[in-house]
Structure 1
Amino acid sequence: MLDYMRSIANRRRDAETGASAVEYGLLVALIAAIIVLAVYALGSLVNDSFQDTCGDIAANSGSTSDEAAACVSD
C-alpha cells in the first residue's frame, strides 16, 4: 500500500514538473515579445535623437571635413 502511495505521489510530482516547464517557457516568450516591442517602439526615437545630436555636433564643429557630416547622412 505504501508503494502504491509513493507511485501516485511520484506521478503527480512529474506531472507538475512538466506544467512548470511549460509555464516558464510561456513566461520567457512573453518577456521576449515585450522586449521586441519595446525595441521596435523606441528604436526610431533613439535613432532620431542620435541623428539630431550628430547634426548639432557637425554644425558646431566648424569643420568642413566629410567626417563631421558623415553621421548626418546615415
Structure 2
Amino acid sequence: MIRKSFFRNESGATAIEYSLIAALVSLVIVTGMATLGDSIKTTFTGLSSRLAGKSVSSSDGGGSGGDLASGQKTTD
C-alpha cells in the first residue's frame, strides 16, 4: 500500500521538472548575455573611437565646430 502511494505521488517529479526548466532558461540567458556582451562592447568601443577622432563643424550640421573629445574649437 505504501509503495502504490509512493509511485503515484508526482509532486517531487514536478519540482524536478521545474528545476530543470529553470536551469535551462538560466543557461540560455547566460549564454546570450556573454555573446551579446562582446558584440555590444565592440560596437561601443568603435563608436567611441570614431567620436573621439571626429570634429563637428557647421557643414556637418553639428553647430559650433568644436572638437567633441577636447571641447576646443577646430579650424577647417
Aligned length: 65
Structure 1: which amino acid aligns with 2:43? L
Q: What is the aligned-residue identity percentage?
A: 12
Aligned to 2:8: 6
Aligned pair in 2 of structure 1 residues 62, 26: CA closer, same or farther (>3 Å)?
Answer: closer
Encode CA deviations 1:45-73: one digit per residue, 9 max, x unaligned: 22234343xx1x3274796xxxx324142
Higher relative helix content:
1
Aligned to 2:68: 71
Unaligned runs of 5+ in 1: none
Unaligned runs of 5+ in 2: 72-76
TM-score, reference length from structure 1: 0.61
Encode CA deviations 1:8-52: one digit per residue, 9 max, x unaligned: x22212111111111111111111112211111112222234343
Structure of higher RCO (CA pairs closer than 8 Å, 6+ residues apart)? 1
